[in-house]
DNA sequence: TTCACGGATGTTGTCGACAATTTGACGACA
DNA sequence: TGTCGTCAAATTGTCGACAACATCCGTGAA
């Protein structure tokens, strides 16, 4: 073997992928709430878990921090970013507007490939609904829903909006998981979500910007209503108020 | 000297500030176009310039990369992010919308402290106009204009919009510098910009959301028009078309 | 002359080690 | 008993070093 490639072991990662792997893994676990908000992430521990030094771990944490998914406390441990309930109203406003603009632009600027991708995403969403219903696990549905809206937003053809919308949807995934952990069954049946998406696809296909905008807005408003209701209903009863900062007024 | 503090030298940075200093410095130089788009940034060189190891340099570069200000080419050098002219239309759309929403919300949600900060920023902007005119240097004006709009957007009270708008304004700073490098004198006098800002402040003070929205939109539209004209006028003549990807049609 | 190949060179990705700082506990004292 | 000061453990921020990868240049052959 005179080959100069350095692949000695079996699962030896090719150079440069270390940080990316850790980043993806942590990001997934954070968004799925497998790592709970506020949980500590020490670099040495992560270094032993993924078999590598602290340098790739550090790089992954820095990238996660600049996306707001973790918080690096200087000279102390880095923690999974807590979900700040006071920011929820702002968040819902932002999600609403970005969903409107991306879906509206999608109706205007899409091409045939975009439509195909959207229909595929919708197909996967329909399949995930059955899986979620059968196994009583909301994770597949949440992720497929994320994929659907990202497919629509991609058709808008504006990277700036897409990037921002993706960040909002990421944070939304955490909230949705939180939502389904407390309340297993949704008030609305899954069929309604499916038909909402179908209506959206129809509007986009017909290049009906106003219609897509309105459906996106209504979609966001429903999410907002469900989430706010969920918060006022189940959180105020259980939550410990002692460590909750009071409103500055 | 029994003091256990580790400050041996004179300008010894206190622990943990290394990466932040490098980040701020590079960010400033990138946004002011002192580092030109496409320029290479090798870690060892930066390590010698700021007197430190490659670790803080690397951290700063990673943070800059996740904000889109530099691009890390795997196993190769990292370069200052090029200004993609094809993305300009998307950028201008995004800037327009985010300026509208932040300035509109500012009119609704501001409090007295916000108004004070806005007026201060406007005062600094007026001062910077004189400096820029006297010294024929557009940098102070551009930076003060940035500060003014950030002050307005801060009054909107929505961190999500603020973060996104800041990122857009950052990229806009680079374009503005580019603009003024080619064309020293603006078509519109500085007084018009000043009065635009005054009108905006008046609308915000009166909590006139529609008015603030309209002024923000007009402001963005003027920037858009000037920049597009600048691009078609002075770029098409000089620019090398060989490495410019052609439109996919 | 042009193209392919191989070594030299420089830069990045990763590693282990050390110093500074925080955190928590333990014990002394009012 | 409650509070403060000191000490030890643990974790981070930084450093220097090495290996892998990419680029560049020179040599040889078609």
Mean pLDDT of A164-178: 89
Helix (H), strand (E), coil (C) string for A77-89: CEEECCCCHHHHH
B90 strand C contact, CB < 7 Å = no
Helix and strand counts by DSSP (H, E) for chain A: 10, 3
A-proximal residues of B, 46-75, CB under 8 Å: 55, 58-59, 62-63, 66-67, 74-75
φ, ψ for residue A78 (rounded to 5)?
-95, 140
Q: Which residue has the higher pLDDT, A70 or A241?
A: A70
Q: Which of residues 137-196 of A touch B (CB under 8 A)?
A: 157-161, 164, 168
Residue A159 has pLDDT above 90, yes or no: yes
Alpha carbon A74 to chain centroid distance? 27
Q: Which of the listed CATH numbers 1.20.120.530, 3.40.50.720, 1.10.10.10, 3.40.710.10 matches domain A85-236?
A: 1.20.120.530
Using a CB-CB cut-off of 8 Å, the residues of chain B touching A168 are: 160
Evaluate whether A118 touches A152 at the Cβ level (below 8 Å). Answer: yes
Q: From the alpha carbon of B75, which nucleotide's C1' atom is closest?
A: C12
Read off the DSSP letter of residue A14.
P
In chain B, residues under CATH classification 1.10.10.10 are 18-80
Q: How many Å apart are CA B54 and CA B60, to the nearest integer?
A: 10
Nearest CA to B52 among B63, B62, B41, B44? B44
Of the listed ranges A37-46, A132-141, B53-62, the least confidently predicted one is A132-141
DSSP 8-state assignment for residue A73: -
Segments of chain B scoring below 70 in pLDDT: 1-12, 181-190, 233-249
**Chain D: nucleotides under 7 Å from a protein CB?**
10-17, 19-23
Tens digit of each residue's pLDDT (9 = 90 or more) over A209-239: 999 999 999 989 988 887 787 777 654 544 4
Q: Which residue has the higher pLDDT, B74 or A186?
A: B74
B85-237 folds as: 1.20.120
Tens digit of each residue's pLDDT (9 = 90 or more) over A1-18: 333 333 333 456 777 788
Query: Would you mind telling me the total number of residues written for chain A in this entry?
Result: 249
Judged by CB atoms closer than 8 Å, whether chains meet at B62 and A67 is answered as: no
pLDDT (tens digit, 9 = 90+) per residue, B73-83?
999 999 999 98
Q: How far apart are CA B178 and CA B140, in angstroms?
A: 15
Residue with tokens 């959207």: A118
- Cβ A90–B63 below 8 Å, yes or no? no
Distance D28 C1' – B239 CA (angstroms): 40
Mean pLDDT of A17-22: 91
> What is the rounded CA–CA span in Å between residue A229 and residue A223?
10
Query: Across all residues in chain A, what is the average pLDDT?
Result: 85
Chain B: residue whose CA lies nearest to A72:
B16
**CB count, 10 Å around CB of B159?**
15
Q: Which residue ranges does chain B devote to CATH 1.20.120.530?
A: 85-237
Query: How confident is the model at residue B241, as a pLDDT?
Result: 36
Of B145, B76, B137, B90, whose CA–CA distance to A157 is shortest?
B90
In chain A, what residues touch B87 (CB-CB under 8 Å)? 159-160
- Under the banding of pLDDT at 50, 70 and 90, the label for residue A42 is very high
Stretch(es) of chain A classified as CATH 1.20.120.530: 85-236
E strand segments, B91-150: none
Q: Which CATH architecture has domain A18-80?
A: Orthogonal Bundle (1.10)
Q: Is B4 helix (H, G, I), strand (E, B) or coil?
A: coil
Quickly give B240 CA vs D8 C1' distance in Å. Answer: 65
H/E element, B212: helix B209-230
Q: Is the CB of A43 under 7 A from strand C?
A: no
């Amino acid at each position: 073997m005179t080959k100069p490639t350095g692949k000695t072991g079996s699962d030896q990662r090719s150079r440069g992928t270390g940080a990316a792997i850790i980043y993806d893994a942590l990001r997934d676990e954070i968004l799925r709430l497998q790592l709970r908000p506020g949980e500590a992430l020490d670099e040495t521990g992560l270094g032993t878990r993924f078999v590598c030094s602290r340098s790739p771990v550090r790089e992954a944490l820095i990238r996660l921090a600049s996306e707001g998914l973790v918080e690096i406390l200087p000279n102390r441990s880095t923690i999974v970013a807590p979900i700040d309930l006071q920011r929820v109203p702002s968040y819902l406003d932002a999600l609403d507007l970005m969903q409107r603009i991306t879906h509206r632009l999608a109706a205007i600027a899409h091409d045939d490939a975009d439509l195909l991708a959207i229909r595929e995403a919708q197909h996967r969403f329909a399949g995930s609904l059955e899986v979620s219903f059968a196994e009583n696990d909301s994770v597949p549905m949440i992720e497929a829903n994320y994929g659907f809206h990202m497919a629509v937003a991609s058709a808008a053809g504006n990277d700036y909006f897409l990037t921002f919308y993706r960040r909002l949807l990421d944070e939304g995934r955490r909230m949705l998981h939180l939502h389904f952990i407390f309340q297993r069954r949704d008030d609305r049946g899954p069929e309604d979500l499916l038909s909402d998406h179908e209506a959206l696809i129809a509007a986009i296909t017909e290049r009906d910007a106003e219609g897509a905008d309105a459906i996106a807005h209504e979609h966001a408003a429903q999410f907002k209503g469900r989430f706010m209701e969920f918060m006022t209903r189940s959180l105020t009863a259980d939550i410990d108020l002692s460590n909750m900062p009071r409103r500055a007024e």
